[in-house]
Structure 1
Amino acid sequence: MLTFIAASESALCAATPAVDKTKLEAYMRYIEGYTTEVKLTIDDPTPSAYPGYSRVVVHLRMREQAIGDRIYYVSSDGAQFFSGTLWDLSENPFLETLEHLPSDGPSFGPANAKVTMVVFSDFQCPYCREFAKTVRDNIPKKYPQDVRVQFEQFPIASMHPWSQAAAEASECVAEQKITAFWAFHDWIFEHQAEVNNSYQNQKATFAGYLRNQTLAITKEQNLDTGRVARCIDSHEKSSEVEESVRNARALQIQQTPTEFINGRMIAGAVPWNTLDAILQLELNRPKEIPGPPSAKCCEVSIPTVLKK
């Protein structure tokens, strides 16, 4: 349902991208019923897919924990803003989501595949493990030329204490070879229980344990182990992981895994029969519905799926 909300004409200045954030926050708190416990951070307006409206992302926090983002659209004259979706029959229905999805995460499958699935995942999440196995066991076999799968980091450190370290380690590996990233991905999900036990029983030495396991994979993949070790020790990839988390929040992701199939958001570890049906829906999209924009990248990387 599309909701329009009239705001003060001074809420936004049409000539500049600045927002009267104090007034806008007060109005939002009133209509949404946010208590003082909820902290709001309002981004500056950015262009949107809707003519005459700018996109404003509002970040919500409670007790120092991020609890999600909300997206609003503000008119160029500042007289109105709305939340919801306005459909344009001449455009792809997921165009705006596609424009905000990252496109440079580790992937397998052809760059020009008909379907791209972007998966936001957490290496310590048991549901992510379940979904990863579903994806890796089925997509390369059934859709080797039609589907590209892209991984994006969303470690939820407040629930999963070693997920951030695993995310950083995986990015250190991915820097040298994408197929090595998928080797790490498959190993850590397959051995998730073992890694959990190591963390619970040896918290003081866990960082060394994860480092050693990562370097063992690095050696098997013929990478520069010294480079990977330095990357892990210096937390070189922490900012990249944090950026991916910010992307997830901006997309209003509430759980892991969350996947976007040609821009269509699907929450949770859906079983293969459901995932396959959604993939078929995209592969057989009616010609009257515009497809997603052409892929920005040109590389093709199809790693071998490890045995389970």
Structure 2
Amino acid sequence: MLNIARLVRPFLFVLLLAATGCHAQSSSTEGKLSPDLARRVEIMLRSKANLPPYYDVLIGPRAKSTVPGFDEITVTFSSDGKATRPMTFLLSTDGKTLAQFNKFDISKDPKEMVSADGRPARGGPENAPVVIVGFDDLECPFCAKMHAQIFPALQARYKDQVRIVYRDFPLVEIHPWAMRAAIDINCLAAQSHDGYWNVVDYIHAHSSEIGGSEKTVAKANETLDTLTREEGKRQKVNMTMLNACIEKQDDSVVRASMKIGSDLGVEATPALFINGERFEGALPIEYVYRVIDNALVAAGKTPPPPVPVPSPDASATTAGQPPARTSSE
């Protein structure tokens, strides 16, 4: 089938259909295109998309558009009975210019694209000017490195200007105990946010040890349950409720979080949304500072003084390697 990206890209800017000579135009711009105008549109599209001759091009009638001086037309490409989704183009009312552009709604604050509501938080208050939502996998080694390196640095630098939350995104295809870990810590989070973060800290710091020398999923699950229960006792939570939640292993909350991530385009961990701006994988800490500083300025706040540039041999990446993927390569 036709590569839609190849077709759309040439029309991000206005394209002239102009040819030498004059062409009679109908006084009414709505309705079916004249055979001459339809042919000129088709030839332009075939040329710009490098369309093979065995593709059929179906051009719909003109319709009113929201762009002054232009009407809309829809174009469908088909081959062997298979058709693309109709694509919308703009055709000037004088029939001399064909254009295509994408219109995006930017009325909503990007910060609101990824909700942090109901999640345990570190750092600033709910109205902090910068909110970082991380999609986390507790069995992901790259997540562990980011957790150990980036977040303490951000809290030390920005204090209450930045609020940090995690959403669950266990890569169940490659991390066999990640789902269990996510369910357990959510059981604890329901009663103690401090307890939640204590267990998250511990698991990320000791993920390679989970499961002990046996390295089995059953042993890892047992370890995770024990860690959660022990922290629950330290936090003086209702142990009857906690134990019942752990035994039930209801994954609905975690699955809902995974769907949120997938809907946002998350495919790998770690993934960060800094006031709605998405980043995946290893990022130099200086780059993260720059993004947060820009977000603070946009929110009308003053960022902290610049951080000294590290020496060339200093390691300052969140992970230093590509992010974990949702499937084995």
Amino acid of the structure 2 residue aligned with 1:277:
R
Of 250, 268, 289, 2:281 maps to 268
Whole-angstrom distance in 1 between the partners of 2:144 and 2:211: 13
Of 161, 166, 170, 2:181 maps to 166
Asked if 1:248 corresponds to 2:261, the answer is: yes
% identical equivalent positions: 27
Which one has more relative contact order, counting CA pairs under 8 Å at least 6 apart? 1
- Root mean square deviation, CA, Å: 3.1
Amino acid of the structure 2 residue aligned with 1:206:
A
Asked if 1:141 corresponds to 2:156, the answer is: yes
Amino acid of the structure 2 residue aligned with 1:107:
A
Whole-angstrom distance in 2 between the partners of 1:206 and 1:286: 44
Provide the aligned length of Structure 1 versus Structure 2. 211
With over 3 angstroms needed to count, the CA separation of the structure-2 counterparts of 1:232 and 1:280, relative to structure 1, is same
Matches within 5 A, 1:267-306: 267-285=280-298
What are structure 1's unaligned runs of at least 5 residues?
A: 5-30, 32-73, 288-308
Amino acid of the structure 1 residue aligned with 2:272:
E
With over 3 angstroms needed to count, the CA separation of the structure-2 counterparts of 1:274 and 1:168, relative to structure 1, is same
Aligned to 2:327: none
With over 3 angstroms needed to count, the CA separation of the structure-2 counterparts of 1:99 and 1:139, relative to structure 1, is closer
With over 3 angstroms needed to count, the CA separation of the structure-2 counterparts of 1:154 and 1:85, relative to structure 1, is farther
With over 3 angstroms needed to count, the CA separation of the structure-2 counterparts of 1:137 and 1:196, relative to structure 1, is farther
Whole-angstrom distance in 2 between the partners of 1:116 and 1:286: 11
Contact 1:131 1:271 in 2 (8 A): no
Contact 2:111 2:131 in 1 (8 A): no
1:166-204 alpha-carbon deviations (Å, 9 max, x no partner):
000110010001111111111110111111545x53434
1:118 counterpart SS class: strand
Of 121, 138, 145, 1:130 maps to 145
Asked if 1:218 corresponds to 2:232, the answer is: yes
Aligned to 1:190: 205
Whole-angstrom distance in 2 between the partners of 1:177 and 1:244: 19
Q: CA deviation at 1:139?
A: 2.0
Amino acid of the structure 2 residue aligned with 1:183:
N
Whole-angstrom distance in 2 between the partners of 1:84 and 1:191: 50
Asked if 1:208 corresponds to 2:219, the answer is: no
With over 3 angstroms needed to count, the CA separation of the structure-2 counterparts of 1:228 and 1:3, relative to structure 1, is farther
With over 3 angstroms needed to count, the CA separation of the structure-2 counterparts of 1:230 and 1:96, relative to structure 1, is same
Contact 1:116 1:148 in 2 (8 A): yes
What are structure 2's unaligned runs of at least 5 residues?
A: 10-48, 50-84, 90-99, 301-329
With over 3 angstroms needed to count, the CA separation of the structure-2 counterparts of 1:112 and 1:231, relative to structure 1, is same
Matches within 5 A, 1:70-149: 80=88, 86=103, 91=106, 95=108, 98-104=111-117, 105-108=119-122, 109-149=124-164
With over 3 angstroms needed to count, the CA separation of the structure-2 counterparts of 1:272 and 1:196, relative to structure 1, is farther
Q: CA deviation at 1:98?
A: 4.3
1:256-280 alpha-carbon deviations (Å, 9 max, x no partner):
0110101111111323222112111
1:151 counterpart SS class: strand
Contact 1:128 1:269 in 2 (8 A): no
Which contiguous aligned blocks of 4+ residues in structure 1 show a shift greater than 3 angstroms? Answer: 1-4, 78-81, 83-88, 95-100, 202-206
1:85-124 alpha-carbon deviations (Å, 9 max, x no partner):
6456xx46xx475444233222122111111111001000
